[in-house]
Amino acid sequence: MSGQLMPCSPKEIGALFLFEKLEPAQLGRLCAAGRVELFQPGPVYTEGEPATCFYVMVEGTVVLSRRVAGDDVEVTRTSQAGVYAGAMQAYLGDRVRQAYNNSMRVTEPTRFFVLPADTFADIMQDWFPMAVHLLEGLFFGSKNTQAAIGQRERLLALGSLSAGLTHELNNPAAAAVRATSTLRERVAKMRHKLGLIASGPFSREQLAGLIEIQERTAERVGKAPSLSPMEASDREDALTDWLEDHGIDQGWELAPTFVQAGLDADWLEQVAAAVDEEILPNAVGWLNYTIETELLMNEIEDSTTRVSNLVDAAKQYSQLDRAPYRVVDVHELLDSTLLMLSGKIGRGIQVVKEYDRTVPPVPAYPAELNQVWTNLIDNAVCAMKDGDGGGQGTLTVRTALDHEQLLVEFRDTGTGIAPEIKDRIFDPFFTTKPVGQGTGLGLDISWRIVVNKHHGSMRVESEPGDTRFQVLLPLTAEVPEEPETVVEAV
C-alpha cells in the first residue's frame, strides 16, 4: 500500500533517535534516496509479502501483528516517533528470503520515512561496514546455533527412542526364535508319530477320517474362544478326566494345549469314533502335535507382525521417504510416537487415547510434529516417574476440534508445574531436571515448531495431579516455502 508523498526535512529526520548521530550530508542523502509518506488508517504491508521497504515512523500510531492459527495477534502498538519495521534484514541481500515477518497498520493518519530495501542495504554497507559484518555474523551465527541445538535435541531424543525400540524389538524377535526352535522339535515328533500311525492296521477310510479331523482341528485353533481362568481350569479338568478314562497317560499334560486350541470332550469323542481304541493314544498324540505346531506358528506370526509394526512405526515416526510438508492424519503420528516411546513409558503408566476421529487431516511438517509429541510425552512420563506415585500414573492423549483448530492435548497425573516457573518453561535452556538429564530445549524447540513453523499455538494448565499441555494447529494453510530463521521486528 502506498501513502501520500510529503516533503522530506533532513532536520525532522535527524531528530529521530535512529538517525540523530548522522552528519548533515548523510541526512541529505537519506532524504534524497528515501521519501516521506502519509498513510491513512488501515494496512501498510502484510506479513509474508516481499519486504521492499524499510519504514521509520515520524508521527502517528502504528500496530504490528502476527498471523497465528488464522488470526491476527497484536504484537506491538506504539506512538513513539522513530520506531521502525519492514525490510530490516535487507543488508543480507538475496542470501535470505526477504519477506515481511509481521503485518503493519496505522490507526490514525501517520507519517513514515520510507527507504527502498536495496537503497537501505547500500547505505548500511557504505556507512557502517563493520556493523554490517557484525550483524551478518550475529544473524547466521544465531541460525547455525539454533540448527545445532535442534540437531542435538533430536539426537538426544533419537538415543532414547533407539534404546526403547531395541528393547521392544528384542522381545518379539526372541519369542519368534524360541517358537521356531520348538516348532522344529514338534514337527520331528509329528513325523515320527505319523510313521507309527501309517505302519498300523488302518484302513484307507480310517486314515482319511483322521486326516479330516486333523484339518478341522487346525481350523479350530484359529477360532479358539477366549476363556476366563476359571472356565479354562474347569475345561482342563474335564479333558484330563476324559483322557484318563480312555487310557491315555499323562492326560494332564495334554489338556492345557487342547483347551488353548478350543477343544473339548465332545471333540475328542469324534476322534475316538474315527479310530480303533488301541490306536487312540497315538491318534490323540498326533493331534496334540498338530495343535502345538499351529499354536507355535501363530506365535511366530504374532511376533513377526509385532516386529513389522514396530518397523512401520519407526518409519512413520522418522517420516522416511515422505514429503517434509504434507497433509497428515495426526492420529497416525501420535500412535507411532507412543509406540516408539512405549519402552520408556513402561508398564506403570497407563496410556489412554481419547481421539476424535472426525477431525480432518491437517497440513504439517509431520517429522517435526513427532518431535513435539516426543518432548511432551517425555516430560509427562518424567513428571509421573519422579513424583510420589512410584512411577505409576495415567497419560491421556486427546484430540478434538477447538474453534476451527485441531487440539492435541497431553494430560498427565504427575507432580505438576510450580506457579512461579510456569511462565519460564518455554524459555531456552530452562529445565527442572537434574544436571545431565535435560537440555532445557525440548519445550523451546516445541514452541518454535508449533508457533513459528505451523502458525499454531501452545498453552499449559497445571496443578498437582493434573497437567495439560495443549497444541493447537490450523486446519488449513498454504504450502510454504522453506522457512528462514527470522529476527523479530523492533
What pLDDT digit, counting tens, does each position of 429-479 carry?
445 554 334 444 568 778 888 888 888 888 888 888 889 999 999 988 755
368 CB contacts (<8 Å, ≥6 apart)?
A: 449, 453
Q: What is the distance between the alpha carbons of residues 49 and 26, in angstroms, rounded to a whole number?
A: 30
Residue 470's pLDDT is: 93
**Cα 212 to the center of its chain, rounded Å:** 51
Mean pLDDT, the chain, integer: 78
Q: What domains lie within the chain, and their CATH numbers? A: 4-127 (2.60.120.10), 165-307 (no CATH), 326-474 (3.30.565.10)
210 CB contacts (<8 Å, ≥6 apart)?
A: 197, 202, 271, 274, 275, 283, 286
Q: Is it the case that residue 419 has pLDDT exceeding 90?
A: no
Q: What is the distance between the alpha carbons of residues 487 and 428, in angstroms, rounded to a whole number?
A: 16
Q: Is it the case that residue 170 has pLDDT exceeding 50?
A: yes
Q: Is it the case that residue 223 has pLDDT exceeding 50?
A: yes
Residue 379's pLDDT is: 85
Average pLDDT over residues 30-48: 88
Q: Per residue in 103-149, pLDDT tens?
A: 888 899 999 988 888 888 787 777 767 766 666 666 666 666 666 55
- DSSP-based helix, strand, coil % in the chain, nearest 5: 50, 20, 30
Average pLDDT over residues 292-307: 80
Q: Is it the case that residue 74 has pLDDT exceeding 90?
A: no
Q: Is it the case that residue 225 has pLDDT exceeding 90?
A: no
Q: What is the CA radius of gyration of the chain?
A: 36
Q: Per residue in 78-116, pLDDT tens?
A: 888 888 888 777 666 666 677 787 888 889 999 998 888
Torsion of CA 442, 424, 62, 88, to 10 degrees: -50
Q: Per residue in 329-387, pLDDT tens?
A: 999 899 888 887 887 788 889 999 999 999 999 998 888 898 889 889 988 888 888 76
Contact 113, 72 (CB under 8 A): no
Q: Is it the case that residue 150 has pLDDT exceeding 70?
A: no
Residue 350's pLDDT is: 92
Q: What is the distance between the alpha carbons of residues 429 and 416, in angstroms, rounded to a whole number?
A: 19
- Report which of residues 283 and 422 the model is more confident about: 283
Q: For a pLDDT cut of 90, what percent of the chain falls above it?
A: 10
Q: Which residue has the cell 537501505?
A: 120
DSSP string, 275-306: S-GGGHHHHHHHHHHHHHHHHHHHHHHHHHHH
This prediction's pTM = 0.48
Residue 358's pLDDT is: 92
- Report which of residues 27 and 485 the model is more confident about: 27
Q: Which residue has the cell 544473524?
A: 139
Please give the helix or strand (H or E) that residue 34 lies within, else none: none
134 CB contacts (<8 Å, ≥6 apart)?
A: none
